[in-house]
Amino acid sequence: MSNLKEVRTRIESVRSTQQITSAMKLVAASKLRRAQTSILQLRPYAEKLQEFIQYIGTGTGQEGEMAYFENREEENVLIVVITSNRGLCGAFNANVIKHANKLINQKYGALYEQGKLSLYCIGKKGAEFFTSHGYPVVEQNTDIFDKLNFENALPVAEGLMQDFISGKYSRIIMVYNHFKNPAVQMLVNEQYLPLSPVEAVDNGHEIDFIFEPDKASILSELIPKNLKTQFYKALLNSYASEHGARMTAMHMATENATELLKELRLKYNKVRQASITSELLEIVGGAEALKG
């Protein structure tokens, strides 16, 4: 009977876990819908704005804005690692951390040895890992995902832009998950600064823009706006990817719990049947003994 009780206790435990994972899947799906809507609405605007800035950025603008295109020698590099604040989302955080580690070791290993590589961790999981492993984490931000919107992302983006303009960093790279669909997230390491102008292609056709009031004024307005938008886009991509990964992970956990429950119920019935058979044999044996 002890085996029967153990199986029954395990069935209750798995059933309780199944209810929790199912509820978490529904919550993640609800948050994913909002995050997916936000990134899909922002992405066409952000991509077209980036394309426009890169195309006309080779021209003359105000000195402060054109400094964002300045391609300096790699002396001090900042890597912005975007993870989540919570777990239970499969390999979402582990993949970002692994990708950032690979980037550091393969591309910026010499700068890391010289102490010229810094990390900016957005999200608790990345901050905990890199801090505990002794990496040069210069700043952490674990609150931005509590209420993610453009206004809350602005101070971080402006800080990164100022660090580049002041010469504190010669290059800023962002590592995050690009949202493709709820089941697929693509790891990317994207150069945030300096901006890369598109090389002119001599194909006999040249796009002729009319600037009002003038090109310099438009660039002075659009370049900072574009950088803030690109940073916000990266955060939205990561946020949507997190909930997609969590929804997928909880769906798989729920499915696994369902399969385990089937096996445990079958085992319970077998143990119960064996117990009943054993009791019947004892009764029959006792009756035969009394007859004798």
Structural tokens at position 107: 């591309």
Using DSSP's 3-state secondary structure scheme, residue 139 falls into strand
Using DSSP's 3-state secondary structure scheme, residue 245 falls into helix
Structural tokens at position 32: 């994913």
Catalytic-role residue among 89, 127, 174, 219:
89
Alpha-carbon span 48 to 44, nearest angstrom: 6
Using alpha carbons only, what angle is made at residue 87 by residues 81 and 92, rounded to the nearest 5 degrees? Answer: 50
The secondary structure of residue 258, as a DSSP letter, is H
- Answer yes or no: 89 catalytic: yes
Structural tokens at position 207: 């796009």
Q: In sequence order, what are the residues at sequence separation of 6 or more whose Cβ sits closer than 8 angstroms to the Cβ of residue 188?
A: 174, 175, 176, 177, 178
**120 and 80 Cβ atoms separated by less than 8 Å:** yes
Question: Which residues are known to be catalytic?
Answer: 89
